[in-house]
Structure 1
């Protein structure tokens, strides 16, 4: 844990600041329906495969995992890839703030420089930011691109810090995923706040007890950041 007083806060977007109005289970069910096939795996199966693949984007992650699950179940992997593509087809504007998120951003923005580090591409994520009206809340936004690594690789965190002229010891990252947000931030030398009541990168609700990366700080709701004292304050 850094002894330096943070001046920069980096945020994840999905399931940290905002969420789709439809659950991940509902979106997956709709993807199967769109492909005209009976569901043959759940979001929990996806979660089981996430740590086993190296992906360059959320779509690549879904394609690899869905194909692997299909192969595991004796189905054509191409069917899994079709479901992954169908899963992607949802309105990025059909979102809402997590409770307390808007107020937290307003409060924190008065005291800290804010940045956003997301594993989503600009074509998907910018409409969300526009719909929420928070583009200007962030001094820098790092989107996923086809030619760049995504969280938990430290590269997107380094890109955000470079844009802000900040060192890792000056920053805190806030996100809902142990596997991508906490592990990635720590790999970049940044202390992490884990939103325990959020969802992980597969879309599953995080367990109250966990294994893996150990975050420096834990919150159960982003609403806890609407007013000081903040978890990282002495």
Structure 2
């Protein structure tokens, strides 16, 4: 018999006052949205450059993006902003695919790719309702390695922005996860100790290892249900919905917290 999908696959959730979340591929299925946007813009570029196929453009961009973002500190950090980094990645990828765009064309293309991703995000009623209930009991926040403009836009597009009391965007603000700094910044914003916080994320090295090193209790969203690659017990779920269901059940037994009037 399969285990209850709404129960954690490892240790039970600890008692906490605060729950913090990653955005990309945790709160929002960014990977699928990113892939659809990439296929659309690659097809448009291929139409304008008949000598290069959409498949080549897409695969070259994926390889370039993985290489440069994977080496962010050395390859992109010096550019100073997420906008400049995204532009550079596309410029390198297109050059490797044999396409040269003028400055104005490149800017329009990069903006189109980013806007397609944000516009594709839709609120999930059950998720919005879960956060509405959780916010009555827990302090809620976000810690993301992305940039402020796009990450705030994603959260707003998903209908979740009313429920987060802090959104820490690490890109352009010094250290990125798994460094402790973004985690501790969120704790400072909410006036809580790290051990009072749960952190929910999908990346083992960035989210789970980073949160644990910073003193928070990590929860791993892992669609395959695979066992943790590292040592130490880790609460994990196969999807966000299951995690939110358990959190909501926990919240049902707690008193509604007092908050400042807004």
The 1-side partners of 2:93 and 2:178 are apart by 22
Structure 1 residue 35: Cα displacement: 3.9
Between Structure 1 and Structure 2, how many residues are aligned? Answer: 217
The 2-side partners of 1:101 and 1:176 are apart by 17
Farther off after superposition, 59-68 or 21-30: 59-68
Structure 1 residue 87: Cα displacement: 4.0
TM-score by length of 2: 0.64
Query: 2:20, 2:197 within 8 Å by CA — same for their partners in 1?
Result: yes
Asked if 1:228 corresponds to 2:249, the answer is yes
Per-residue CA deviation, residues 196-215 of structure 1 (Å, 9 max, x unaligned), is 12xxxxxxxx6846635867
Structure 1 residue 67: Cα displacement: 7.9
Larger radius of gyration: 2
Of the candidates 149, 164, 179, which is equivalent to residue 205 of structure 2? 179
Structure 1 190/130 Cα, relative in aligned 2: closer, same or farther at 3 Å?
same
Structure 1, unpaired ranges of 5+: 198-205
Structure 2, unpaired ranges of 5+: 1-10, 47-51, 252-262
Asked if 1:216 corresponds to 2:234, the answer is yes
Per-residue CA deviation, residues 93-127 of structure 1 (Å, 9 max, x unaligned), is 42124684223312322221111112222221222
Query: 1:10, 1:173 within 8 Å by CA — same for their partners in 2?
Result: yes
Match of 1:13 in 2: 23
The 2-side partners of 1:77 and 1:189 are apart by 47
Match of 1:157 in 2: 183
Q: Secondary structure at the match of 2:249?
A: coil
Q: Secondary structure at the match of 2:187?
A: helix
CA RMSD of aligned residues (A): 4.0
Of the candidates 159, 167, 170, which is equivalent to residue 141 of structure 1? 167
More helix per residue: 2
Of the candidates 162, 186, 192, which is equivalent to residue 218 of structure 2? 192
TM-score by length of 1: 0.70
The 1-side partners of 2:36 and 2:182 are apart by 30
Q: Secondary structure at the match of 1:23?
A: helix
